[in-house]
């Protein structure tokens, strides 16, 4: 997809990806706080929280007191369960930041056995924390941090799944996720494409084939459909993830 080719940055290592991400987040956070008074960040599960948590800058001007943290997808499990995205993010990242627990929007643990209600509850939180703006009717995330699976999924939006076509809801539930655990809630494409900045973070050689298929061969998989309407797209790759690309990537500079 040429929109991805023009957004693909490669870095020599996971640590360099993490350092680049923090540099970008520092700028985006300052811009959002100056414009609107707060910064809305959405985290994904998988390796992302550790990539950020392992590369925290020694010094930063980021005003974490103005952050609002959400999850782009979450598994329907207790917050302290080994499969919880929040649990993993807390341990790998949030506990290392001066972010008050109150600003982190978790799944409602009372609703984990009722995924439809959990999705509705989360949609209401998302709508309150990330207001629609600029003629876009979906909630607007300032920095949407996404991962991609080797099959091209992002959030809990899997290839061929009916959830790819949802237009009227911001958060939906899934009970047949091919990646375990099977029951989750996830942002939908209207929210992904309303983001002010959508930033994919892909590291490791198990991503190399799919990165090649998306960027060189322009295959249509869920991750390739993230194309923010009024926002900016970034794909941050480490060298192993970029190793099968034939087309060139960009060098990240602010
Ligand atoms: O809850 C989840 O399972 C994720 O949000 C999922 O979409 C993840 O981001 C990708 O599968 C990439 O995971 P890795 O970074 O671990 O490869």
| pTM for the whole structure | 0.97
pLDDT exceeds 70 at position 254: no
Which atom of ligand 1 approaches the CA of 85 most closely? 1
pLDDT digits (tens, 9 = 90+) for 69-98: 999 999 999 999 999 999 999 999 999 999
Q: Please tell me the chain's helix, strand, coil percentages from 3-state DSSP, rounded to the nearest 5.
A: 35, 20, 45
Q: What is the pLDDT of residue 247?
A: 85
For ligand 1, the distance from its centroid to the CA atom of residue 211, given in whole angstroms, is: 15
Which atom of ligand 1 approaches the CA of 47 most closely? 15
pLDDT digits (tens, 9 = 90+) for 196-225: 999 999 999 999 999 999 999 999 999 999
Candidates 41, 195, 192; CA nearest to 133 is: 195
Q: What is the pLDDT of residue 40?
A: 98
pLDDT exceeds 70 at position 135: yes
- Whether the CB of 179 sits within 6 Å of ligand 1: yes
For ligand 1, the distance from its centroid to the CA atom of residue 154, given in whole angstroms, is: 7
Q: Whose CA is nearest to atom 2 of ligand 1?
A: 45
For ligand 1, the distance from its centroid to the CA atom of residue 72, given in whole angstroms, is: 10
Q: What is the DSSP letter of 117?
A: H
* Angle, CA 88 vertex, CA 53 and CA 121 arms, to 5°: 120
Q: What is the pLDDT of residue 77?
A: 98
- Whether the CB of 87 sits within 6 Å of ligand 1: no
- Whether the CB of 18 sits within 6 Å of ligand 1: no
pLDDT exceeds 70 at position 1: no
Q: Could you give the percent of the chain with pLDDT greater than 90?
A: 94
Rounded CA separation 56/45 (Å)? 18
pLDDT exceeds 90 at position 248: no
Check: CB of residue 105 under 8 Å from CB of residue 129.
yes
Of 44, 107, 177, 179, the residue with max ligand 1 atoms within 8 A of its CB, to mutate for a pocket test, comes to 44
Round the average pLDDT of the chain to a whole number and report it.
96
Q: Is 207 helix (H, G, I), strand (E, B) or coil?
A: helix
Lowest-pLDDT choice from 186-190, 228-232, 247-251:
247-251
Q: What is the pLDDT of residue 250?
A: 87
For ligand 1, the distance from its centroid to the CA atom of residue 11, given in whole angstroms, is: 20
């Amino acid at each position: 997809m040429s929109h991805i080719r023009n957004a693909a940055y490669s870095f020599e290592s996971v640590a360099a990806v993490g350092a680049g991400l923090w540099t970008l987040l520092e700028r985006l956070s300052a811009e959002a706080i100056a414009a609107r008074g707060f910064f809305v960040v959405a985290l994904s599960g998988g390796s992302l929280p550790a990539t950020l948590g392992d590369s925290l800058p020694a010094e930063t001007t980021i005003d974490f007191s103005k952050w609002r943290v959400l999850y782009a997808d979450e598994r329907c499990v207790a917050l302290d369960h080994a499969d919880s995205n929040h649990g993993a993010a807390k341990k790998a990242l949030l506990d290392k930041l001066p972010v008050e627990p109150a600003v982190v929007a978790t799944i409602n643990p009372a609703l984990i056995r009722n995924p439809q209600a959990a999705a509705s509850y989360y949609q209401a939180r998302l709508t309150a924390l990330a207001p629609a703006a600029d003629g876009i009717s979906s909630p607007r995330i300032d920095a949407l941090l996404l991962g991609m699976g080797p099959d091209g999924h992002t959030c809990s939006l899997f290839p061929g799944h009916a959830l790819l076509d949802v237009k009227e809801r911001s958060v939906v539930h899934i009970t047949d996720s091919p990646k375990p655990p099977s029951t989750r809630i996830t942002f939908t494409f209207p929210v992904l494409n309303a983001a002010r900045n959508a930033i994919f973070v892909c590291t490791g050689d198990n991503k190399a084939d799919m990165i090649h298929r998306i960027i060189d061969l322009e295959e249509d998989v869920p991750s390739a459909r993230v194309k923010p309407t009024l926002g900016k797209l970034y794909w941050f790759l480490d060298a192993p993830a970029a190793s099968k690309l034939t087309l060139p990537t960009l060098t990240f500079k602010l």
